[in-house]
Amino acid sequence: MISDRVKKGIVRAPNRSLIKACGYTDEEIKKPFIGIVNSFTEIVPGHIHMKNLVEAVKKGVYAGGGTAFEFNVIAIDDGIAMGHEGMKYSLPSRELIADSVESMAMAHAFDGLVLITACDKIVPGMLMGAIRLNIPFIVLTGGPMLPGELEGNRYDLIDVFEAVGKYEVGKITEEELYKLENYACPGAGSCAGMFTANSMACITEALGLTLPYGATIPAVDAERVRLAKMIGEKIVELVKKDIKPKDILTKEAFENAIMVDLALGGSTNTILHLLAIAHEVEPGFITLDDFDRLSNEVPHIASLRPGGKHYMYDLHKAGGIPAVMKVLESKIRKNAKTVSGKTIGEIISSVKYVNHDVIRPIDNPVHKEAGLRILKGSLAPDGAVVKIGAVSPNMYKHEGPARVFDSEEDAIKAILTKKIKPGDVVVIRYEGPSGGPGMREMLSPTSALMGMGLGDSVALITDGRFSGGTRGPCIGHVSPEAMAGGPIALVKEGDIISIDMIEKRLDLKVPEEELEKRRKEWKKPEPKVKHGYLARYSKLVSSADKGAVVNY
């Protein structure tokens, strides 16, 4: 056992003494050491209930013959960090979480890990750290929040963001906004639609890193507590059988995850995170070209929030991720292994029920195009990402004048003061991984556009990124970013930008001679942050098309 490094032999008497000081017995010390990575915090609803899940996992670990050691990592709530300087810390926190998992597991010689996670950056951060170690691990996500209900209608957090825009143009009163604020998020869980947290949970299940249905069981359902106990038992089995993550995380496993993501129309952030997760297996293990290639294989088969009407609760009742893969069976790589001990094919074969009102047949999809698309062109030579499943078809193709802003705050001010007109293309730059720094999510400006009724006539392009709850013609992750001197840094007010989501193009309609002149005149701005963690992150982080991983 790996834990023998800290517990076996005469020379480890001091180590054992410290472990006994924590209350562990000789018999417990002899068993496999299982690290329980808990991301509980009192300010994140997706994590507020994790104390109960941790206790359930521990019961499972002890039932399976292991010894549990709980430790914590940080968890940032993107919704609370949204729209201010705090959002600059969200994506960089992924690297802190990965480093924390790696550090704690190596320092204390854990034999295996249970990753208890939920929200946006915490899922990929934990996975990245655990994959580096290549020791057995299994994931327990916290589960989705139920939708809120008010006066016969269902709501979620994105309705509140968009309601701010509605209030600004007089569509609703302050009293109506307040009422929605109180009822949209009814309790524990990750926000109720196919936003980033739930998208990452679905990807984790498709990768084979949790037990079947683990992504979709509601946070408040007792079924999730039972799942936690089963996961606790399973990790001990994985340790005893020495089943490591790199035995599971093959190219085929990643292709399955990508196809499930594309078919569900997951968050654009999943592309960033999958690239980073795969990087821990091997640099370049998957690329944007894999997403582009696979987007031609699968259609968009589920109309989930924010672009559709269904919630994660509906997806679970419709059959969950096993049912999604059943519908995609002709495309899925069925020999891929999972932590359950079954192959993906065996999980698919056990599916007895699919609600096709929620998970549409492959020959009768929501959209024939996959829910996410990679765009390239003169404005994004290295790629950009759009959630086409949440875009009105009349905006698949659009040309319009650029309205250029060098920060999110400037763009929001222009939007809320009604300076953006139908047909415009809002460009928000210097918000990339290095330039932001931290590649902030642009949910506030996109929600304001939607709430003000401009979602079918105004496009938004950025080298930053978007919330999983963003809908409308919003193109992010433009690479190279402005801080690297990418073409987005050369755009001027009024330049015509051409978008063609069907042909996967994003172009700046400015003659090359003019662009070359602008390149020679361009000067790299001073860093926005010059001290602390973000300053260090800004110097080390790679481009979005590489997953915004940190270069060592």
Domain with residue 331: its CATH number is: 3.40.50.2300
Task: Let me know if residue 368 belongs to a domain.
Answer: no
- Cα–Cα distances in angstroms (integers) from residue 367 to residues 8, 165, 332, 460, 469, in the given order: 59, 28, 19, 22, 19
User: Model confidence at 552, in pLDDT bands (50, 70, 90)?
Assistant: confident
Q: What is the pLDDT of residue 36?
A: 98
Whether 401 and 519 map to the same domain: the answer is yes
Average pLDDT, the chain: 97
Whether 327 and 201 map to the same domain: the answer is yes
pLDDT in tens, 364-409: 999 999 999 999 999 999 999 999 999 999 999 999 999 999 999 9
Residue 101: what are its φ and ψ, rounded to 5°? -60, -45
Q: What is the pLDDT of residue 469?
A: 86
Q: What is the pLDDT of residue 463?
A: 98
Q: Helices H, strands E: what count in the chain? A: 22, 14
Whether 326 and 418 map to the same domain: the answer is no
Residue 130: what are its φ and ψ, rounded to 5°? -70, -35
Q: What is the pLDDT of residue 410?
A: 96
d(CA 35, CA 79): 29
Query: Are 227 and 214 within 8 A, CB to CB?
Result: yes
B/e letters for 303-319, b = 16+ CB within 10 Å, e = fewer, are bbbbbbebbbbbbbebb
Q: What residue ranges in 65-176 does DSSP mark as E strands?
A: 67-72, 112-117, 137-141, 148-150, 153-155
Above 90 in pLDDT, residue 235? yes
Query: Are 29 and 19 within 8 A, CB to CB?
Result: yes
Q: What is the mean pLDDT of residues 10-38?
A: 98
Task: Let me know if residue 363 belongs to a domain.
Answer: no
pLDDT in tens, 453-488: 999 999 999 999 998 889 999 999 999 999 999 999
User: Model confidence at 240, in pLDDT bands (50, 70, 90)?
Assistant: very high
Whether 86 and 168 map to the same domain: the answer is no
467 is catalytic: yes
Whether 173 and 213 map to the same domain: the answer is no
Q: Which two tokens stand for residue 471?
A: 């809908």
Q: In what side-by-side order are the strands of the sheet with 33-38?
A: 67-72, 33-38, 112-117, 137-141
Task: Let me know if residue 552 belongs to a domain.
Answer: no
d(CA 58, CA 127): 20
% of residues, the chain, pLDDT over 70: 100
Whether 287 and 323 map to the same domain: the answer is yes
How many domains does the chain divide into?
A: 4
Q: What is the pLDDT of residue 42?
A: 98
User: Model confidence at 149, in pLDDT bands (50, 70, 90)?
Assistant: very high
User: To which residue do tokens 């950056």 refer?
Assistant: 121
% of residues, the chain, pLDDT over 90: 97
d(CA 447, CA 171): 14
Q: Which distant-in-sequence residues (6+ apart) come within 8 Å of 1 by Cβ?
A: 32, 33, 111, 239
Query: Are 124 and 149 within 8 A, CB to CB?
Result: no
User: To which residue do tokens 């304001």 refer?
Assistant: 448
Would you put residue 143 in left (φ > 0), alpha (ψ -120 to 50) or beta? left
Task: Let me know if residue 517 belongs to a domain.
Answer: yes
Whether 198 and 279 map to the same domain: the answer is yes
pTM of the model: 0.97
d(CA 265, CA 371): 4
Above 90 in pLDDT, residue 83? no
Domain with residue 393: its CATH number is: 3.50.30.80
Whether 76 and 222 map to the same domain: the answer is yes
Whether 205 and 259 map to the same domain: the answer is yes
Q: Which two tokens stand for residue 15?
A: 């180590």
Task: Let me know if residue 406 belongs to a domain.
Answer: yes
d(CA 466, CA 348): 32
Q: What is the pLDDT of residue 317?
A: 98
Whether 276 and 387 map to the same domain: the answer is no
Q: Which distant-in-sequence residues (6+ apart) come within 8 Å of 323 by Cβ?
A: 351, 353, 354, 355, 359
What DSSP element (H or E) covers 231? helix 222-241
Q: Which domain holds residue 173?
A: 147-186
Above 90 in pLDDT, residue 78? yes
Q: What is the mean pLDDT of residues 505-511?
A: 98
Query: Which of 90, 199, 467, 479 does the annotation list as catalytic?
Result: 467
Task: Let me know if residue 386 belongs to a domain.
Answer: yes
Say whether the peptide bond before residue 92 is cis (omega within 30 degrees of 0). no
Task: Let me know if residue 95 belongs to a domain.
Answer: yes
DSSP for residue 88:
G
pLDDT in tens, 406-460: 999 999 999 999 999 999 999 999 999 999 999 999 988 999 999 999 999 999 9
- Cα–Cα distances in angstroms (integers) from residue 160 to residues 133, 155, 172, 180, 215, in the given order: 40, 8, 12, 6, 24
Whether 55 and 159 map to the same domain: the answer is no
Whether 207 and 289 map to the same domain: the answer is yes
pLDDT in tens, 100-121: 999 999 999 999 999 999 999 9
Final residue of a domain: which of 136, 158, 186?
186
